[in-house]
Amino acid sequence: MERRQKKVSRIAVLTSGGDAPGMNACVRAVVRTAINEGLSIFGIQGGYEGLVEGDIIPMSMRSVSNIIQRGGTILKTSRCETFYHKVGRKRAYDVLREWNIDGLIVIGGDGSFRGAHALCEEYRINIIGVPATIDNDIYGTDLTIGYDTAVNTALDLIDKIRDTAESHSRLFIVEVMGREAGFIALAVGICGGAEEILVPERRMSYEQLYEAIKVWSKAGKTSSLIVVAEGDELGNANQIAARLKKDYNIDCRVCILGHTQRGGSPTATDRLLASRLGYHAVLGLIEGKSDVMVGWVNNQIVFTPLEETWEKKKPLDEELLQIYKTLSR
């Protein structure tokens, strides 16, 4: 049987924006799928910065050996100022032409997708985005690469904090990542048995928080945990602690998990997701898809126009919010 005609023959892959565990597993999947499909595959080092500078290397089966379990990204990543401007993207396109590259896979977050979309609009180049960010705040996929690992890392730390909170009968405020989204906070809060979860998607006043704290104390809880997403409107963990002390004379300890949540070996869930999305990104390019993101929705591969991935908002799971309210009392 005759094989379908391939719409690309020389493709490249880059990782861009904030790093996320599982990016390496995805690079590996892209490289090996491409080679298996008879394509030439190149790695662009340092995200869009490397693209603009022409920092490109040929990839082989062996260049991605022994990386599926490693956090970070072997291709490195960057924030690239020049790529925000037409002149920078022109340079990027010239580099791609020079190398005869006709397809590009961008592994990153919504900022990286905005850049990819701009390049697609301006030049004839096929691009597929793969969602990788610990925040999980991208529309068009139930999960982003790195989210599950970040949740598990944060949870591990929260379990440890709970031990000390319990021993000293203390109130702890733990700040997790998620600037504009509460996905990490909600998952970690439920799994860590938090008494309260503060997320940007749900408004809560200081009075309400104080009332909630009074209720737990009366209910006989000997330790309590508040999990707060870094972008919550009440403020960051330190500000909340200072306000609780000043207005209500409540003592609490603060723990900011910070960048520990970005690192570490990806979980099995992230490796599976990264392998699956990387594989389908290459097949998508071969079929001629472009200006889309490959995602995982209701246990299926779905391609979503890049623009929708940041224009549409992925909601928090309302039922999970309800479940946590019921279980935390």
CA–CA distance, 95 with 101 (Å, rounded to integer): 9
Q: Which region among 109-117, 222-230, 256-264, 270-278 touches ligand ADP (by CB under 6 A)?
A: 109-117
Phi, psi of 60 (to 5 degrees): -130, 175
Of 19, 102, 110, 135, the active-site residue reads 135
- Report in angstroms how near the CB of residue 105 gets to ligand ADP at its nearest: 14
Q: Which is nearer to ligand ADP, 16 or 153 (CB)?
A: 16
Which stretches within 249-311 are classed as H helix? 268-287, 306-311
Reading phi first (left if > 0) and then psi (alpha if -120 to 50, else beta), residue 235 is in left
Binding residues among 204-233 for ligand ADP as defined by CB under 6 A: none
- Report in angstroms how near the CB of residue 50 gets to ligand ADP at its nearest: 11
| C-alpha dist (Å) from residue 194 to 42, 134, 223, 227 | 45, 20, 10, 6
Owner of token pair 């799971």: 317
Structure tokens of 171? Answer: 């109130």
Answer yes or no whether residue 192 interacts with ligand ADP by CB under 6 A. no
- Give the one residue of 28, 32, 76, 114 binding ligand ADP; rule: CB under 6 A: 114
Active site residue 135: yes
Other CB atoms within a 10 A radius of the CB of residue 303 amount to: 19
Q: Which region among 16-24, 223-231, 272-280, 301-309 touches ligand ADP (by CB under 6 A)?
A: 16-24
Judged on CB neighbours under 10 Å (0-12, 13-18, 19+), 82 is: middle
Binding residues among 50-89 for ligand ADP as defined by CB under 6 A: 79-80, 83-84
Let me know the angle formed at the C-alpha of 88 by 85 and 90, rounded to the nearest 5 degrees: 110
- Report in angstroms how near the CB of residue 69 gets to ligand ADP at its nearest: 22
- Report in angstroms how near the CB of residue 106 gets to ligand ADP at its nearest: 8
Side chain identity, residue 234: L
Q: Which is nearer to ligand ADP, 110 or 175 (CB)?
A: 110
Residues interacting with ligand ADP, by CB under 6 A? 16-18, 48, 79-80, 83-84, 108-112, 114-115, 118, 133
Kindly list the catalytic residues: 135
